[in-house]
Structures are given as structure tokens and as C-alpha cells.
Amino acid sequence: MSTPFLAGQLRPALVGVLALAALTGIAYPLSVTGLARAFFPRQAEGSLIRQNGEVVGSALIGQECTDPALFWPRPSATLDTDGKPRPYNAMASGGSNLGPSNPALGNAARTRMEALASLDSETQGSFPVDLVTASGSGLDPHLTPAAALFQVRRVARARGLPEDRVQSLVLRHTEPPQLGFLGAARVNVLKLNLALAELR
Amino acid sequence: MSPAWLQFVLYLLFLLLLSVPMGGFMGRVLEGERTFLHPVLGPLEGGLLRLMGVHDENMGWRSYALAILLFNLIGGLALYTLLKAQALLPLNPDHMGPVATDLAINTAVSFTTNTNWQAYSGETTLSYLAQMAGLAVQNFLSAATGLAVLAALIRGFARRESESLGNAWVDLVRSTVYILLPLSLVFALVMVSQGVVQTLSGAIRTASGQLIAVGPVASQVAIKMLGTNGGGFFNANAAHPFENPTPLSNFLQTLAILLIPAGLCHTFGRLVKDRRQGWALLAAMTLLFLGALAMVSTLEARPNPQLTRVGVLQPAGNMEGKEVRFGVAGTSLFATATTAASCGAVNGMHDSLSPLGGLLPLWLMQLGEVVFGGVGSGLYGMLLFAMVGVFISGLMVGRTPEYLGKKLEAFEMKMVSIAILLPPAIVLVGTAAGVLLPSALSSISNPGPHGFTQVLYAFSSAANNNGSAFAGLNANTPFYNFTLALAMLIGRYGTILPVLALAGSLGRKKITPKGPGTLPTHTPLFVATLVGVVLLVGALTFLPALALGPLAEQLSLR
């Protein structure tokens, strides 16, 4: 039996915390950083998309967009440092945290629907849910295919393109569920908009 | 079969299949047997123990408990110091200042107790060094603490007339070196392959001026899932695309939450030399899990009546607070697993779950997180309920209750009762304080019954060391930082101490041979009893509170 006294346990406790901290807090993350850079350099730095040597964004992080001639991402509830709304603030991720019974949830959806309808007078009723609700991260890079197709008419008209060409672009950018059963079909909005700019 | 159910079935299949080798491996490590990792990591273990001056001395329960407490105390103080000093230290590319005192205390307690309640938001508060060498270290050490306490309790059952529960230092070092560290290293790299970032450069600026926070995320995500810690690198936790970028990363992270807890059931069976005992506990956990998962996924797939009324089409289900790449299925699976375990990571905002879809994660925590549960803590929690089950069965037939040949007497049942009833007491008292004190009320962000649920969720999460939140609640106030820190401390050590005392008392007993009157504890009948006891204790304790929150909200929703 060891003594239950403090003195005998103090050394293993102090040395244990320090040594294990060095192992799990320094050696481990630095090894992961090194190995990640060696094997998956693109993912490790943030799956960045570059055009003409400039970083235009990350394939994983959505960007705010209110241009009628581009596809809009989902609403985002992220805030600025002063607490004012600033959608797609990738320095402060977060959701709206509105409860399901909170009237603000219905009001936010209605405001968003009015904004969408004001740019496309033929739109009526039946708005896709992800286009009027905020994501959990506030940085969701995706839309459901329904929400992307919903915007085809507006985008096509604003760009003076035939609707079927824009629609087929959306379909080409629709990713199926991963491995066939994980997640749902989805469209990456940033990649779609970059491809749209190439479309003549 | 719909893709959602295919995902759930494959999830359980993988979990149960992987739990067998995982459990066997952990059993060998805790018993000090050689494993395939010993040629590489053996010298590391030996070196650490020599440095600490430990020679595998036998410890009684008091020494064991003292070692655990001291280890956590020093770990917590080191973390607190680092949070206060981060501005003066390296690896702070985005220039974070020192953390406020009440928040630093709350955070240090939170990570030391395996809770990972986060009253701060990572990307605006903490330096890379504080995340890596502060938080992630406690992710490892608090999980190792859970494993060590469980090992001691299992030895109490397995050993006969013995004062010794093993050596806490050896258990802590072996758990970290052989189990947590290698698994995390592999898992972190798999996560990077899916798109989780791992870099020490500061935020990225795009051509259009968008600033994007990055960091050493993968290394932290790996241990936060495997160690059932749950503390996100970013504020949005596993909803953030850099923490959980694809449906596959989501599936694997959800698997990682329950891998060690499920495996430990087999470790238990192996160490008490009756594998059927481990399978029985695993069966009870799986049944409870399946029930909860089926309900959450069904409820979340339903449209929100408020949105239906204004003309929103909701074939995708309740999408507020959810990510498109996970959808309702991936979010429901994650929400169920994270609250069944003591993980607390979230891949969608629980505050925006439907009223009853949010009730289930809340209730899973309130049951004591024994459905798989936290690393170590889940199984020692479930063993407490098994003892209650045996005790009630014993009362019904008028025999002294026995579990695994150990007679359960007054002292054991006292310890069991304390460990089971203390967390619920803190939850209910804390919630009452949160809704009675005017200064606390201003933290509530949603009106009506949902506001009450936010407070109930916070205390349920803290006292059961979960860490997930109805995050609209403004918890970064002195009231919540201090009361929740207290709740986390009592919830963690108010369970660990009775469990270790119980282990000590059980270890001293002899093992009664099985007789015709012995209640078998590996049968479907006992599994049903165990499920019944867990549900009954949880329902009796919390139904009134749940009626005031989520049930009232559901009735008001139209």
C-alpha cells in the first residue's frame, strides 16, 4: 500500500500533467500539422479556391451575396464584433438559435421571402425551406437542389441567358449523397457562381 | 429502406462490430498486457512513469481518489493560467487578449471535468496555444480520468478480498499513451482528408475581403470526439464546415463519439471474466439509443407549422440551425449520439430543434448519460443503474441483492444513491435559481416555455458533464459562469468519489458462488429491467420540469 498522503502523490501529479501536456498539447498537434501538410496540403490550409493567383474563397465556406444575377446562399445569422448582423462572417460562426415557437423565426422567413419575391414577380408561395432558414454555422456553403433551381429564373433573366442553360449548370453542380447514402444532394453555391461567370 | 434509415442501420452495425476489437484492446491495455502498439509506445509509457517516479504500487480507493483529484486539480490550474496568460505567449496570430476571470474559471472547470461547456466562442477568444496546449490537453486527460475511474470500479468487481484497485498513475498514462493518442492521430488525419483544417497560420483574407478563421483544428476535433469531450474549435462546433466538412466526416465523427464507450462494455465483460455481462449492458444501451434516434429523426423531419403557415415548403424538414450537407438524418444521428454520450459537440443548433426533437437530447443527458455515455463515465454510470436494478429485483424476492457475486449492502446502495441522485438535484435547484433570480433572467433569448427549456438544458448539460447547449442562452455572465462551473464540479466529482468508494468496498468483499437463487444479469429479462430502471428514474425526476418546457411549447405550437 502506498501512503495516501499528499507528498507521495505530488510528484507524479505535477510531472504527469506537465509531461502529458507536452505530449498531447505540443508533440501531438505539431505531428498532425506536419503529416497533414505532407499528405493533404490542400485540405489542411482550408480547401482554398484560387483564380489568377488570388484566393477567391474556400470551397467549404459560404459567402454573402445579394446580387440578383448570382445565386444566393442560405440566410446566415452571424454577427459582427459590435453585435450587428453580418452574414457569412467567417470570424464568428453561429446560428440564429431561434426556438421553433419564436415568432421571430416566422418573421425572418417572411422578410427573406419578400426579398426574393421582389426580384421575381412570378414567384408565388412554396419557398424551399433552406432558402429562408439560417444554417447552424452561418457559413453553410450549400443549397439543396430545390433552393438552387428556385433561383434559376431570376439569375437567367438578370444575366440575359436562356433558363435551360442556367438550369443545366445547376444540375451539373449538384453533388449526390456521399457514398450514395450519406447526407442529401447539394449544390455548392460559390462553385456554382464561379462557373456562372464563365457562362456566355 | 430510405437513405436515412440505411445510414442509421449501418451506423449501429459499424459501432457494434468495431466495439468488439476496441473493447478487447482496451482490456489488454488496462490489464497491462502487451499489445501490438507496445514495441513503439512501450518506451514512451516506461519513460513517462519513470519521470513521474511511479512503480505501479497498489492503491486503495482513498489513494486512488486522491491521485485522480490531484491530477485534475493541477491540470485545471495549469489550464486557467494558460487562459489568463495567452496574450503573452506564442502561437497567437490573431492577437487574442487574456480571458476574463469568471470565463477562465468556467472554461478551466469545463474542460477538466470532460464537460466542454463553452461560454466563449473559440475563434474570437482563444489563441492557438490555448486551444492546443490548454483545451486539447484536458480533452485527453479528462477522458483518461474517466477510463481510470472505470478501471478501478471494474477491478472492485473482479478482485476478491483485495484492498487494491490498481495504480491510478499507471492507468492514466496507459489510457493516454495506448488508447487516446494513437486513435486521435489516425482519426485527425482522416478528418484532414475530408477537409478539416490543420494549420498554424492566422486567418485567411480572400480577394473580396472575406476573413476566414482557421487553426490547428483536426488534431483537436479528433480527441474532442473520441474522448467524448465535445468542445469545438469554432463557436459553431461540428456545424462549422472546417470542423465537419462532409457527410462522411459527419458519419465518422458520430461513430467516434460512441466507439470507446461501446467498446468499454466488452472491456468490462473481459475483465470480470463473463463476456455476456458486457453484452447485456451494451444491449440495454443500444435499445435506449435506437428508441431515441427513431423519435428525434421522425420529429425533425416534420415541418414547423409556423413556416408552413407563411408558405414555406419543407420536404427537407426542420432546417433552421441545420446544415444542408447533413440534412435532418445526419443532424438527428449526431444530436442523439452527442447527448447519449457526454460529448456535447453539436452539428446543428439544438436551440432550434423542434420542441419534442429537443426534448429527447435533453432527457438523454438527464438520464445521467448512461446510454453509451462518456468515456468511462458512461459505463460506471450504467453499472450504478445495474446495481439499482439488482437491488429492486432482490427486494421483490426477498434476497440480499448480488451483482457479479458481490453482495450489495447498505454502504454500496448509499454510494449508488448519492451518485445517481446528486446530478438531478443540481439540475433542478440550478434551473430554479436561473428562472427566479431577476439578474439571471436576462440571459434567456427565446420567449415562452422555450426560454425555460434553455435554462433547464444548460444545467442538465453542466451537471451531467455534457457541454452542449441551447446556445441562444447568454451564458457568459458571472451568474452562469460561476453556477455552471459549480454544477460541473459537483456533477463530476460527486459521482467519481462515491464510485471509487464503492469500488473500494466491493473489492474487499468475497465473491459468492452462483446458486439456484442467484439473479442472472446477462439475460433479456435483466436487460429489460435495466432499461426500465433507467427510464423510470429519469421520468420520475424530470417529467414535471419537461412538462413546463418542451411539452408546453409543443402544445402551444401551431
How do residues B135-193 score in pLDDT, each as one tens digit?
999 999 999 999 999 999 999 999 999 999 999 999 999 999 999 999 999 999 999 99
CB–CB of B4/B328 below 8 Å? Answer: yes
Cβ pair A137:B449 closer than 8 A: no
Contacts of A141 in chain B (CB under 8 A): 241
B1 Cβ under 8 Å from any chain A Cβ: no
- Bridge partners for A50 per DSSP: A55
- How far apart are the C-alpha atoms of B145 and B465, rounded to whole Å? 13
Task: Give residue A1's pLDDT.
Answer: 43
**Angle, helix B524-546 to helix B377-397, in steps of 10 degrees:** 110
- Bridge partners for B402 per DSSP: B407
C-alpha cell of residue B228:
467524448
Q: ipTM for the complex?
A: 0.95
Contacts of A35 in chain B (CB under 8 A): 189
Cβ pair A46:B234 closer than 8 A: no
Go through A92-105 and write b for each residue having 16 or more CB atoms within 10 A of its CB, e for each that does not: bbbbbbbbbbbeeb
Domain residue ranges in chain A: 7-43, 46-198
In chain B, positions 111-140, which contact chain A (CB-CB < 8 Å)? 121, 123-124, 132-134, 136-137, 140
Question: pLDDT tens for residues A42-53?
Answer: 999 999 999 999
- With a cut of 60, say whether residue A2 has pLDDT above it: no
Q: By C-alpha distance, which of A115, A167, A162 is closest to A145?
A: A167
What is the signed CA dihedral for A110, A113, A118, A124, rounded to 10 degrees?
-110
Q: Count other C-beta atoms under 10 Å from residue B536's C-beta.
A: 12
Task: Give residue B1's pLDDT.
Answer: 59
Please list the ranges in chain B whose pLDDT falls under 70: 1
Contacts of A88 in chain B (CB under 8 A): 210
CB–CB of A149/A166 below 8 Å? Answer: no
Beta-carbon contacts of residue B433 (< 8 Å; ≥ 6 apart): B440, B483
- How far apart are the C-alpha atoms of A59 and A63, rounded to whole Å? 10
- With a cut of 80, say whether residue A25 has pLDDT above it: yes
Residue in B207, B324, B450 nearest the CB of A140: B324
Question: Which DSSP symbol is given to B390?
Answer: H
Task: Give residue B200's pLDDT.
Answer: 95
Cβ pair A179:B248 closer than 8 A: yes
- List Cα–Cα distances, B428 to A104, B28, B145, B166, in angstroms: 29, 41, 27, 36
| β B312-313/A127-128 pair status | parallel
Per-residue pLDDT band at A5 (split at 50, 70, 90): low
Contacts of A110 in chain B (CB under 8 A): 310
Task: Give residue A125's pLDDT.
Answer: 67
- With a cut of 90, say whether residue A199 has pLDDT above it: no
CB–CB of A75/A132 below 8 Å? Answer: yes
Cβ pair B325:A142 closer than 8 A: yes
- Bridge partners for A51 per DSSP: A54
Cβ pair A43:B326 closer than 8 A: no
Task: Give residue B515's pLDDT.
Answer: 85
Contacts of B133 in chain A (CB under 8 A): 21, 25-26
Task: Give residue B92's pLDDT.
Answer: 94
Beta-carbon contacts of residue B248 (< 8 Å; ≥ 6 apart): A178, A179, A182, B194
